[in-house]
A and B are shown apart, each in its own frame.
Chain A
Amino acid sequence: MSVRTGSRASQTHAQSTAEVPPAVVGRSVWALAWRRLRRDRMAMISLGVIVLIILLAIGAPLVAAVTGHPPNQQYRTAGLSPEGLPMPPSSKFWLGTDDLGRDILVRIAYGARISLLVGVVATGITVVTGAVVGLISGFFGGWIDSVLARLIDVILSLPFILLAIALVSITGPSLTVTILVIGFFSWAAVARIVRGQVFSIREREYIQAARVIGVRPWRIMFVEILPNVMAPVIVYASLLVPVVIVTQATLSYLGLGLAPPTADWGGMLSDAQGYYTTSWWFIIFPGLALVITTLAFNLFGDSVRDAFDPRAEQLVESWGE
């Protein structure tokens, strides 16, 4: 599972402070990227949608309070038809009920918490692990680099979904396991990007200068080099979030998500699959929630990439089937 981002996001060292004419203000890469992002209409719309989804997740208990339906409460009489089938959207259940007579709207709101939590935390773990391994590998070189580079190759050639299923079936499904499994299989791609960047940066004069005046290696790595490889990492991370959200939903769909009463979008869709002939709302609404979320993150990620490297019209690799 990996995202491929622009390989040419190499303007990381463009941080030059002009001193002579006082009218020119030195802007960092970050300030420039943010300026471009703010002018990008699509970026602001998708950011707005993301903020709405975050609010939905935070406000899930509020949604439950307004509708009066706790997420795991089964309404066996009001929420199910006489034949025991889900009820269509109505004034009582705005988005209908599921196969156990639970309120779909409330469960979508609670499901947003899972998707966002996994999306953000797993991406964070992936990026931090990948960046540290990539830094060490690229900075020290030699046998350390050989070993780590080989390890990266191995991880990248593993059949991700199969091994994820095997791991989860052994440990039993849980939120922590899902996050760790996704992180474990994803960090290698980040490490490879960072390693490549570090290779080109570590020979620069200012790094040699730092060595000469006796700066400690870890300080050079994290203080001198790291900030200069952050741009491609940020771009990669913003495109990784939707991939992670889809992966989590897929694991849930395959029955490796979370223990049953917990509401999460992949699990809801897995339950809904048996009811597509009778209850379209059961499948459409969680499906829409999932697609809108990933679409918003993808649009935003594309804009972040363009903001950091306006030249790069780049590609995103599929997430391992």
Chain B
Amino acid sequence: MWGYLLRRILQGVFVLWLITVAVFALFFLVPNNVARTLAGRQATPKTIAIVEHRLGLDQPAWKQYLTFLNNAIHGNLGYDYYHQVPVTHVIGQAFPITLSLALGAAVIWMVLGVFSGVLSAVHPRSVADRSVTGFALFFYSMPSFLLGIMMIYLLYYRLTLAGITWFPAGDYVPFSQDPKSWAQHMILPWFTLALLLAATYTRLTRSSMLDVLGEDYIRTARAKGLKERRVIYRHALRSALTPVVTQFGIDIGQLIGGVVVVETVFSLPGLGKTAVDAINQQDLPVIIGVVLIAAAAVVIANIVVDFAYAALDPRVRLA
């Protein structure tokens, strides 16, 4: 098992390295005008050259790459081009916001998704099943930005007009500063993200529960007189959750790397929005930093999922 873990970690590092090469190559494929922007409109070529030299942009691309790689190995991801702030600091600022968003939404979507899925599977083809499935498909078909805009329109704008100011439309208040205000500001982003993802979990839980409920051991459990609630939640749900846990790991991994659209709609300065801004400004060190974090989150989540899978399902062996 340790050998397996080591191999997976090495593969992950290899993927991350490939990504740095790809982002660097992409960046240097087109002429960038970072130095020109920084030096200002009136700058002479000489000033621009000085700025380029200060940022190291006058070096050949491969040399810049080696410098980056060497620093990265020592835990330094460089400095952003515009404010000379360490990239690790920029990421450190944005990360708690993305984490608040992803984890808060995760709680909501797991509860919504799993319970609606169970409800659906226990009474297949009932009215409850049909409405749950319908809702799930509706939210599944909804683009995230559209749902976000709708949330702002209905729950912020219309309610505020009606004199009910429960939901602010965006902005971030740190948890340490005011936990209540933090939660209040996050409610709309949480539900936007959660409703979109819950739809997947409803469908996943439903189909997995339907499979499990047809198994012999469920009939045995019922035959020996267990309460239906116990059969469903203790016996069936437990093994039906395996694919749900897998999916959860994959989704969390992706979200922790930045929730680009929801962060943009609600102007939350998390990793996703930071990356989009950096891309628009051609701020290479920040772009690489965030993309690396995002890819690392996916890689780590995949490894964790494999181990969780082996722990949940004794038939799975890691080798």
Contacts and interface: CB of A to CB of B under 8 A. Distances in A.
Interface of A: 150, 153-154, 157-159, 161-163, 165-167, 169-170, 242, 246, 249-250, 253-254, 266, 269-270, 272-273, 276-277, 280, 283, 287, 290-291, 294-295, 297-299, 302, 312-318, 320-321
A125 B51 CA distance: 43
Interface residues on B, range: 35 or more
A115 to B, nearest CB: 11
A291 B137 contact: no
Interface string B216-246: 0000000000000000000000000001000
10 contacts: A150-B11, A157-B295, A159-B257, A165-B276, A166-B287, A270-B145, A276-B149, A294-B143, A315-B208, A321-B254
B26 A254 contact: no
B19 interface: yes
Residue from the set B141, B145, B150, B207 with the largest chain A CB neighbour count within 10 Å: B141
Contacts of A269: 145-146, 149
Contacts of B258: 159, 161-162
A242 B137 CA distance: 12
B116 interface: no
B295 A318 contact: no
Contacts, number: 142
B207 A159 contact: no
Contacts of A250: 143-145, 261
B309 interface: no
B182 interface: no
Residue from the set A153, A253, A277, A314 with the largest chain B CB neighbour count within 10 Å: A253
Interface in B253-296: 254-255, 257-262, 264, 272, 275-276, 279-280, 287, 290-291, 294-295
Given A157-B295, A163-B291, A283-B153, A291 B146 contact: yes
A167 B27 CA distance: 9
Contacts of B208: 315
A159 B291 contact: yes
B18 interface: yes
A150 to B, nearest CB: 8
A302 B203 CA distance: 11
B114 interface: no
Interface of B: 11, 15, 18-19, 23, 26-27, 29-30, 137-138, 140-146, 149-150, 152-153, 157, 193, 196-197, 199-200, 203-204, 206-208, 210-211, 243, 247, 250-251, 254-255, 257-262, 264, 272, 275-276, 279-280, 287, 290-291, 294-295, 298-299, 302
Given A158-B298, A166-B287, A321-B259, 20 more contacts: A153-B11, A154-B15, A159-B254, A161-B260, A161-B261, A162-B291, A165-B275, A250-B261, A253-B143, A253-B145, A254-B261, A272-B149, A276-B149, A290-B146, A294-B142, A302-B137, A313-B207, A321-B254, A321-B260, A321-B261
Given A166-B26, A250-B145, A254-B276, A276 B251 contact: no
B26 A170 contact: yes
A166 B261 CA distance: 15
A287 B146 CA distance: 7
Contact of A299 (B137, B197, B255): B137
Contacts of B199: 318
Given A159-B258, A287-B146, A298 B141 contact: yes
Given A169-B279, A273-B149, A321 B143 contact: no
Contact of B23 (A166, A249, A276, A314): A166
A165 B143 contact: no
Contacts of A249: 143, 145-146
Contacts of A321: 144, 193, 196, 254-255, 259-262
B160 to A, nearest CB: 10
Contacts of B272: 161-162
Contacts of A170: 26-27, 29-30
Contact of A157 (B15, B157, B193): B15
Contacts of B153: 276, 280, 283
A297 to B, nearest CB: 8
A168 B295 CA distance: 19
Contacts of B193: 321
Contacts of A165: 260, 275-276, 279
A162 B263 CA distance: 13
A290 B287 CA distance: 31
A159 B261 CA distance: 13
A287 B200 contact: no
Contacts of B144: 250, 321
Nearest to B297: A159
A17 B153 CA distance: 59
A159 B298 contact: yes
A157 B12 CA distance: 9
A294 B143 CA distance: 9
Contacts of A150: 11
A122 B246 CA distance: 28
B294 A314 contact: no
A277 B276 CA distance: 26
A295 B146 CA distance: 14
